[in-house]
A and B are shown apart, each in its own frame.
Chain A
């Protein structure tokens, strides 16, 4: 077992970074934690500080204002860190690629480990994505 897989063997703590999003992806992420899907039973917990997190969820397109902050948050994160881009906006910029404030899709700014497409992705898709990511590592 490598160092990375050792780090992600137990409860994953998640930090959520909402970029310039439409809120739907944010809500579906929260939805994963509520009774129907209840990710907390697997020890997956939303935390308030990136310094406690194993996973960084990024959703929404990144605008010029967010860009520096995303870089700073990535810098502060303890490594190894899994980065997941959620939604069409997170993966490619989606509808907002042509916006004057668009600063590039997430993977042009920080390295991304997994992409979960959809607008918004269903909670099931988010869970499946994270499970795949954990199994891969």
Chain B
């Protein structure tokens, strides 16, 4: 192999809204190796979660990632409800699914826009984000906020969707459906998009299995995995829908899967709304008095794939241990396969193709550069830092009292 040039993308790159560093090792135009450096976004959420009560943790996990701000509470609620052994009411199940599917629509629209932006095709970016606004308005109407919804709690949801809101949701869904048709047509038939995305960043079915990729990334390579189908939760077993897959495994297939998934989401929401109308208004929570000691696993299908929460309870009102695995964590690993051998210009859209979300993925670990052996931060330093921080907090608390 000839001499390699290092091209950094990030950490504060105009292309990415989140801080993240990719190091592309290139030979001429061709990417030979890729490395990924994290830590710019670390907030020690798992640790913070152990100091909050179960009710408060919902607000915390919602802020792991702004785009998936329903998926994390969803998985956490599933985990805690498994420990407590509660079955929520059907109305609450339907409402949870409506919120999760609305989120999927807005997230996929956001991705289509950003992908257009990465290709230098800003018209798609502007269009997709324009058509996303009505969905955000719906969220504002249902939950009171455009992004962080605060809808979930142990045993149900916080707010009901009343009859007047249902008709409003239907109206907006019609608009969104029409716009999705338009956008799908524009993206699927555009020769420029075909040229830029077909055959780019290809992942075979075996690659996807090897890397353990999930969500649309896996489904675009022909692997039909979807937690909603494989391990049904909330209202998904009560409605009819199908898992969308494609076989090509390139960026175009990923776009196709996401666009078609939006139609499925719209149909799920319509069925859920019918379900909500059948149930009695106001029956949205089940009272949960205490969380017994035990272990709970919660899974939910986020727009990017499976979110997994592990919660351990010792019978107190805070989780004793809370472990989170977000989908981008495994999807980002596929870059090792899909980016290598591409040109630099194609590498960016391949990076965007899995819809990576870095704030979910942040991990603090013993990080060392395999080439130079340079340790960026080790485990002991981490613990020392934690001890120091606890000391600081204790002293400020003392000052206050």
Does chain A bind chain B?
yes
Query: CB within 8 Å of B: which residues of A?
Result: 16-31, 34-36, 46-49, 60-61, 63-66, 69, 73, 95-96, 98-102, 119-120, 122
Residues of A within 8 A of B129 (CB): 30-31, 34-35
- Asked if A61 and B146 make an inter-chain contact with CB atoms under 8 angstroms apart, the answer reads no
The reply to whether the CB of B110 lies closer than 8 angstroms to some CB of chain A is yes
Could you show 24 A-B contacts with beta carbons less than 8 Å apart? Answer: A21-B66, A21-B359, A22-B65, A22-B359, A24-B69, A24-B147, A24-B148, A26-B17, A27-B66, A27-B110, A34-B126, A34-B129, A35-B130, A47-B14, A60-B41, A63-B39, A63-B40, A66-B19, A69-B40, A98-B48, A101-B42, A119-B63, A120-B66, A120-B146
What is the chain B residue whose CB lies nearest that of A25?
B66
The reply to whether the CB of B336 lies closer than 8 angstroms to some CB of chain A is no
Given the interface pairs A16-B17, A28-B147, A36-B130, the reply to whether A63 lies near B42 with Cβ below 8 Å is yes
Q: Is the interface of B mostly helix, strand, loop or mixed?
A: loop
Please name the 6 residue pairs, one residue from A and one from B, whose CB atoms are nearest each other, closest first: A24-B66, A48-B14, A23-B66, A34-B129, A26-B17, A35-B130
Count of residues in B whose CB is under 8 Å from the partner chain: 44
Q: Least Cβ distance of B207 to chain A in Å?
A: 27
What is the chain B residue whose CB lies nearest that of A48?
B14
- Asked if A61 and B12 make an inter-chain contact with CB atoms under 8 angstroms apart, the answer reads no
The reply to whether the CB of B53 lies closer than 8 angstroms to some CB of chain A is no
- Asked if B359 and A35 make an inter-chain contact with CB atoms under 8 angstroms apart, the answer reads no
Q: Least Cβ distance of B328 to chain A in Å?
A: 11
Residues of A within 8 A of B133 (CB): 34, 36
For B117-130 the 0/1 string (1 means CB < 8 A from A) is 00000000110011
The reply to whether the CB of B64 lies closer than 8 angstroms to some CB of chain A is yes
- Asked if A73 and B12 make an inter-chain contact with CB atoms under 8 angstroms apart, the answer reads yes
Given the interface pairs A24-B147, A95-B60, A95-B63, the reply to whether A18 lies near B19 with Cβ below 8 Å is yes
Residues of A within 8 A of B148 (CB): 22, 24, 119-120
B330-359 interface with A by 8 A CB criterion:
357, 359
Chain B CB count within 10 A is highest, among A25, A30, A46, for: A30
Q: Least Cβ distance of B397 to chain A in Å?
A: 11
The reply to whether the CB of B186 lies closer than 8 angstroms to some CB of chain A is no
Q: Least Cβ distance of A28 to chain B in Å?
A: 7
- Bound together, the chains give a CA A27 to CA B42 distance in angstroms of 18
Chain A CB count within 10 A is highest, among B39, B40, B63, for: B63
The reply to whether the CB of B393 lies closer than 8 angstroms to some CB of chain A is yes
- Bound together, the chains give a CA A60 to CA B359 distance in angstroms of 11
What is the chain B residue whose CB lies nearest that of A123?
B146
Partner of B44, one of A23, A29, A100: A100
Residues of B within 8 A of A23 (CB): 17-18, 65-67, 357, 359
- Asked if B43 and A20 make an inter-chain contact with CB atoms under 8 angstroms apart, the answer reads yes
The reply to whether the CB of B35 lies closer than 8 angstroms to some CB of chain A is no
- Bound together, the chains give a CA A62 to CA B69 distance in angstroms of 21
- Bound together, the chains give a CA A36 to CA B385 distance in angstroms of 44
Residues of A within 8 A of B126 (CB): 34-35
